[in-house]
């Protein structure tokens, strides 16, 4: 469960700061770490594959969530920007 949360958190960070192309190398690193890590204690190969699939999906969902949060914050800042520029323009108009 902690692995899925860490994968989603990593995906959010990647979604905020990187393009989608970063998911390919991160997925390769996740595959390597899942199958060669010290916590390969699953009872079968299929359980390891299921854990890997869940990790990759959590990274991708986190990426989408990070991308959405980045879009929402940038849309909010664009929406606020005209008010501040309008206030500055009106002050300069009154100064004349």
- Domain residue limits, the chain: 2-69
Does pLDDT of 68 surpass 80?
Answer: yes
* Pick from 78, 83, 32, 79: nearest CA to 56: 32
What's residue 85's pLDDT? 53
Give backbone dihedrals phi and psi of 31, rounded to 5 degrees, phi first. -65, -45
State yes or no: pLDDT of 86 exceeds 70.
no
pTM of full prediction above 0.75: no
Using an 8 Å Cβ cutoff, are 63 and 20 in contact? yes
Dist. CA 34–CA 52, nearest whole Å: 6
Q: What is the pLDDT of residues 10-58, one digit of tens each?
A: 999 998 998 989 999 999 998 888 888 666 666 777 888 888 899 999 9
pLDDT score recorded for residue 36: 80
Question: Any idea which residue has 């004349």 for tokens?
Answer: 96
């Amino acid at each position: 469960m902690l692995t899925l949360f860490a994968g989603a958190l990593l995906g959010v960070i990647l979604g905020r700061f990187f393009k989608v192309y970063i998911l390919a190398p991160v997925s390769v690193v996740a595959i390597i770490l899942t199958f060669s890590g010290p916590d390969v204690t699953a009872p079968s190969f299929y359980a390891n594959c299921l854990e890997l699939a869940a990790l990759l999906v959590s990274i991708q969902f986190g990426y989408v969530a990070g991308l959405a949060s980045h879009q929402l914050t940038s849309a909010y800042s664009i929406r606020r920007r005209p008010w501040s520029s309008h206030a500055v323009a009106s002050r300069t108009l009154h100064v004349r």
